[in-house]
Amino acid sequence: MARVTLVDSGTGNLFSLTEAFRRAGADVRVAISGDDVSRASCLVLPGVASFSAVSRGINGLRGALLAAVEDGVPLLGICAGMQVLFASSDEGPGEGLGLIQGRVRALQADVVPHMGWSPLRTSGDPWFEGLPQGAMVFFAHSFAAPADVQGVAALADHGGPFAAAVRRRRIFGVQFHPEKSGRLGAGILRGFLREAGVVRSA
């Protein structure tokens, strides 16, 4: 069975994500220390707060997270957890992990936050194998990475296109909430486990 370690930054809904990964066939642990992170074989960084809050929440784990990624441990960032994969954000102060180049920007839309279901335009990355174009997933955010950042795996639109998913080698990120996106979200989590190499098939 795949083992997934959720990074507790104090800003994520760990219960919902734990249940979603268990339904996807993974055994779930929670990391609260650098040692927990160092022992992980697959890391997930959730966040349902601001960029600054997540950045503060991982300060004590930052070195262990960067070392794990350097050692090839797969990492998935979700919502604000994806934003912290970048170096900085318009949302406020704080230092991201800088694992993907670019800066998170405010959405330019008449209605913000972007709250609800929107379609994905995927790029052909095998992570989304079997996912139909236009698959609807659930978003809740006011900031996002621009559509032209490196490693875009899927786009969505709200006042213009933005990066809905990114991938750089074994670093993955989704701006939406797969744990709130029903059957398609479960498929995206299983695809992550497959592409991360922690299960043979999904």
- Structural domains of the chain ordered from first start: 2-196 (3.40.50.880)
Q: pLDDT per residue over 25-35, tens digit each? A: 899 999 999 99
Helix (H, G, I), strand (E, B) or coil at 107: coil
What region does 67 belong to: left with phi over 0, alpha with psi -120 to 50, or beta?
A: alpha
Helix (H, G, I), strand (E, B) or coil at 182: helix
pTM of the model: 0.96
Tokens (6 digits) for 193: 């486990």
Instruction: Cite the active site residues.
Output: 79, 177, 179
- CA dist., res. 134 & res. 82, Å (int): 21
- How much is the pLDDT for 200? 60
Give the CA distances from residue 142 to residues 35, 51, 52, 58, 148, in Å, rounded to whole numbers and listed in that order. 33, 11, 14, 21, 18
Q: pLDDT per residue over 105-152, tens digit each? A: 999 999 999 999 999 999 999 999 999 999 999 999 999 999 999 999
Tokens (6 digits) for 131: 């996912």
Q: pLDDT per residue over 28-57, tens digit each? A: 999 999 999 999 999 999 988 899 999 999
Band the pLDDT of 79: cuts 50, 70, 90: very high
- CA dist., res. 59 & res. 51, Å (int): 12
